[in-house]
Structures are given as C-alpha cells and as structure tokens.
Amino acid sequence: MNIKYILTHPIQYQSPLIKFLHKNKIKIKVLYRSNMSAKKYFDPEFKKKISWGTNLLQGYKYQFLNYIGPNKVSTIFPITTDFVNKIMDDKTKIIWIHGIKNWYNLCIILIANIFNKKVFARDEVTHFSKNRNFINKFFNYLFYNFFDFFIDIYLAIGSENKKYYIDNNINPKKIVIVPYVVDNNFFKKKNIKKNKKLTFLFAAKLIKKKGADLLLEAIKILNQSVNFSVNSNFLIVGDGYMKNSLKEYAKINNLKNVNFIPFQNQKKLSKVYQNSDVFIMPSLIEPWGLTVNEAMAAGNAIISSNSVGSSFDLVFNGINGFKFKKDDVQDLAKKIFKIYQNKKNIKKYKLNSQKIISKWNFNLCLVGIKKAISKVKN
C-alpha cells in the first residue's frame, strides 16, 4: 500500500528511518511543507545558523509542496497550496502524519477521510511532555475521543507514549509500536573503554527545559568532594539563549572541570559521544530524547531525569545508568557521584547501553509499519 508521509521539513532523525523503510520495499513518499533544513538555516533556539552535516534527502522519494507565507516551521506556516492534489491519486492509500494536535495536521486528517484514505498518526505526547492540569487533561480526553474516529492507527514511539493514548481512551488494538530510533551504526563505538579522567557529557539546546543550569548546580555541589573536580570532566555541548549565563555561573563558581563546546552536527557529535563515558539528560520536559539513543549507541552510561520518555524504555537503574527525580539537584548530584565512586562498573554500564540499544533499531520500526499496514488492509 502506498504511503504519503507529511512532514514540516527534512529532519535529521526522520530521514534515516524513511531511507531504511524505502530500502525495505515500503512504498513511501515524503511530502515536505518546507525545505528549511535541507541547507544551512537559522535555528531560533540554538540562536545560530546550523547544518546537520548529512544529506537529509538521499535514498528515498520526496517532494516539496508549494506554499504561501513565510518559509518557516510552525503550527501555521508554511501553508501549502497543493496538498489535496497530491493525495487524490488512487495509488495513495495511507496518509501518515507526525504530530496530531496542530491545525494543519488536523486538516490533513479530515481531508484524508474525505478522500477515503487511511490515517497513521505519530506523535511525541506523554503525560509529562507538558505541564498539564486537570482542565488540560479533560480537554485532551475530549479531543482524542472526537478525532479518534478519523485516525486508523496510532504509531507509538515508546511505552509512555502508548500509555498516554490508552489513558485517553484509545483502543489498544489501534496502537502499534514504531519506536523512536537512530542509526545505531552511525554512532557506534567498537572498542569500549573508560577514559582516565571520567568524562560526563551534556548535549542539547541551552534553554531552560533542557536542564543545563541544574547540571551546573549539581557539579558545584560535587566539586566540594575531595579530588572530584580533578578526576572528572564535564562537556556542555550546544548553543542557546542561556549560554552566556551558564558560562558566567561556571566562572563565578570556579567550575574548572566544565568545558563548553558550541553546537556540533551529527558527524562531529558522534566523535564527542565516543570520547565520553556518561551522558546526562537532566531535562524538565522531554517526550523522548533521541540523544539518549545516540549516546547509548556510542557506548555511554546514562543519567536521565524521570521526565524523559526514552528513560522508561532504555535506562535501567544499576544496569546501564540511573534515573533521578526531575528538577532535583541533590538527587542528580547523588546519581553522578554514585557512578563516580564506582568507576569499576563504568565499562559494564557502557557495554550494557550498547546491548540494550542494539535491539531498539530500524527493524523494530519496519515490523511496526508492516503490522500497521496489515491492520488497515483487513
């Protein structure tokens, strides 16, 4: 069955999966609303022009839709003018959208139903992907119960995403796991060993919800321990509006074991992962967190907040790292020190990370997509 996958723009995490599906005989074509990231572009959260360093358009079929308005990605723009024409053909049987609760994709869902197309919906929502009060939860419940009639299959990215759908009264039979994955081989490090000086890595946009400020507070606490600052190294990789204030905090508090590195594209970042021991994701809100996948493929132990979606499927306490209570600097410091104190376990954690992530791969997605297709065929 022919699939049209509607995306806002080429995305570094989506392209390798689409390429894999195409290579494995899934009849898929991507319709992009914008060409924004196909070349170097300004990212407002990184606060700079970036390029991902890989060809995001190679190895699969795609087309850029015509649009009006600014060529930027939001819930409104770009407004495409020829979408209906692209799905009216008889060969297209399935419309796959990424993100449910925005006006553009809701229009796609309704139009697809008018033309008798099946709808696959994939989203990143979890119970902790936003701060939700009772009213938010109630209206979410009403929303899903109404639009569920127009959606045939929900492609869940992980266990917490699946739980969210079920808790909003979605029939489990309509949910298929198509997990969030990365190209593990791209990031994989073959010879796992511990650095002489234990190296911790943070890699994300330097914005509030990513928790870099919390990490620096934890390092300040830990540096009061004898020799900790001498025997540890923290890499803060990324850019964003908080960068100057974070660097100032590190300077004022004499955090000599903290080094700031600007944004790295995927090719360069893979080398950074491979030269690190422990990846830290202290996010306050993170529906998934694909950098966890990347870091595990490169052989990193993981310290993650319990508000990171991937931690429920990929991070296991005492096996390949630890989880800590979100926004709790004392608990974060405790988990970092636990790994620091037991350096003999680092190699075991690193190897376990690679073992766990090796099973969380493109083949799982292929199985899921085939299962979803078979469900709508019947």
Q: Are residues 268 and 283 in the same domain?
A: yes
Instruction: Specify the pTM.
Output: 0.94
Domains contained in the chain, number:
2
Q: Is the pLDDT of residue 215 over 90?
A: yes
Residue 277: closest CA among 193, 169, 181: 193
- Average predicted confidence (pLDDT) for the chain: 92
Structure tokens given for 111: 């139009």
Is 309 buried (19+), middle (13-18) or exposed (0-12) by CB count in 10 A?
Answer: buried
Tally of CB atoms within 10 A around 350? 25
Residue 9: closest CA among 89, 92, 99: 99
Residues whose CB is less than 8 angstroms from the CB of residue 325 and which lie 6 or more positions away in sequence, other chains included: 305, 306, 331
Mean pLDDT, range 363-368, rounded to an integer: 98
Mean pLDDT, range 206-214, rounded to an integer: 97
Structure tokens given for 359: 């099973």
Range of the domain at 105: 2-181+361-377
Q: Are residues 233 and 373 in the same domain?
A: no
Of 76-85, 319-328, 361-370, least confident by mean pLDDT is: 76-85
Q: What is the pLDDT of residue 131?
A: 64
pLDDT top residue among 130 and 291: 291
Q: Is the pLDDT of residue 38 over 90?
A: no
Q: Are residues 136 and 249 in the same domain?
A: no
Q: Is the pLDDT of residue 73 over 80?
A: no
- For β-strands 41-43 and 48-50, DSSP reports them as antiparallel
Q: Is the pLDDT of residue 88 over 80?
A: no
Of 132-136, 191-195, 261-265, 268-272, least confident by mean pLDDT is: 191-195
**How much of the chain exceeds pLDDT 70, in percent?**
96
Q: Is the pLDDT of residue 104 over 90?
A: no
Give the CATH number of the domain where residue 326 resides: 3.40.50.2000
Q: Are residues 334 and 274 in the same domain?
A: yes
Q: Are residues 308 and 248 in the same domain?
A: yes
Q: Are residues 225 and 132 in the same domain?
A: no
Q: What is the pLDDT of residue 77?
A: 65
pLDDT tens digits for range 154-185: 999 999 999 999 999 999 999 999 999 999 99
Of 86-90, 298-302, 315-319, least confident by mean pLDDT is: 86-90
Q: Are residues 286 and 203 in the same domain?
A: yes
Q: Are residues 151 and 218 in the same domain?
A: no
Q: Are residues 294 and 372 in the same domain?
A: no
Q: What is the pLDDT of residue 170?
A: 96
Q: What is the pLDDT of residue 378?
A: 67
Tally of CB atoms within 10 A around 221? 16
How far apart are alpha carbons 181 and 226 in whole angstroms? 40
Q: Is the pLDDT of residue 78 over 90?
A: no
Q: Are residues 296 and 161 in the same domain?
A: no
Q: What is the pLDDT of residue 193?
A: 66
| DSSP-derived 3-state class of residue 120 | strand
Q: Are residues 277 and 209 in the same domain?
A: yes
Of 56-65, 121-130, 242-251, least confident by mean pLDDT is: 121-130
Q: Are residues 52 and 192 in the same domain?
A: no
